[in-house]
Amino acid sequence: MNKYLDAVIVEHNPSQKKIDRAVIWLHGLGASGHDFEPVVPQLGLADDMAVRFIFPHAPNRPVTVNGGMVMPAWYDILEMSLERKVDIAQIEESAQQIHDLIAREIERGVKPEHIVIAGFSQGGAVAYHVALGYPQRLAGLMALSTYFATNDSVRYSAVNTDMPILIEHGAHDPVVPVILGEQAKQLLSEKGYNVAYHTYPMAHQVCIPQIQNIGKWLNTILA
């Protein structure tokens, strides 16, 4: 059995040098690694930057809030209250699979401090867990239209307390209410993290001004 999750790989490398930066970006519930593939050319990344984007596919599993339907999911969502009761053990299992992808990038010569962990919606909850608990310094954490599900169970890593964190949310999100993005920002800011927080006049999605802002942020933290 393949140790690594299947993933879509997109490389931004106009200068054709050795790839030394990586972004591991997790999709939302019921989607796939192809979801954010078209975003890469729109980010406006610097021409001298050599970045590998890894968009893993979540495994298929039954999802309680969708009537037990089997679909790509990083973990089971047990109820859709604001508290978002979720299967923490499955988040930890998915987080370990992302740890494996990070280890593979390190083996390929990308330093951990040049690796960004990103996630949209359900993928963002796993991204929080991975990046905040990772034992080596990472380049940054990007949390899009998501919530922080594991504050009570994550083992915060002291080495990542100054890691840049970008939280972005749609002001009219009917799926993950914007208050959940605000709660994560407040919690992490109070813990001393360096959090940039933006909202956009959109629903549960991404928009062009946001993609451009993400590109600027990546250009800065991966420079």
- Selecting among 12, 27, 121, 145, the annotated active-site residue is 121
Q: What is the DSSP string of 84-151?
A: --B-HHHHHHHHHHHHHHHHHHHHTT--GGGEEEEEETHHHHHHHHHHHH-SS--SEEEEES-----T
Q: Is position 173 annotated as part of the catalytic site?
A: yes
Is pTM, for the whole model, over 0.85? Answer: yes
Q: Which CATH superfamily is domain 7-221 in?
A: Alpha/Beta hydrolase fold, catalytic domain (3.40.50.1820)
Give the pLDDT of the chain (223 residues) as one tens digit per residue.
578 999 999 999 999 999 999 999 999 999 999 999 999 999 999 999 999 999 999 999 999 999 999 999 999 999 887 777 899 999 999 999 999 999 999 999 999 999 999 999 999 999 999 999 999 999 999 999 999 999 999 999 999 999 999 999 999 999 999 999 999 999 999 999 999 999 999 999 999 999 999 999 999 999 9
Per-domain residue ranges of the chain: 7-221
- Residues 26/74, Cβ–Cβ less than 8 Å: yes
- Residues 183/161, Cβ–Cβ less than 8 Å: no
Residue indicated by tokens 């969502």? 77
Q: Is position 121 annotated as part of the catalytic site?
A: yes
CA 85-91-96 angle, to 5 degrees, is 170
- Selecting among 57, 99, 198, 204, the annotated active-site residue is 204
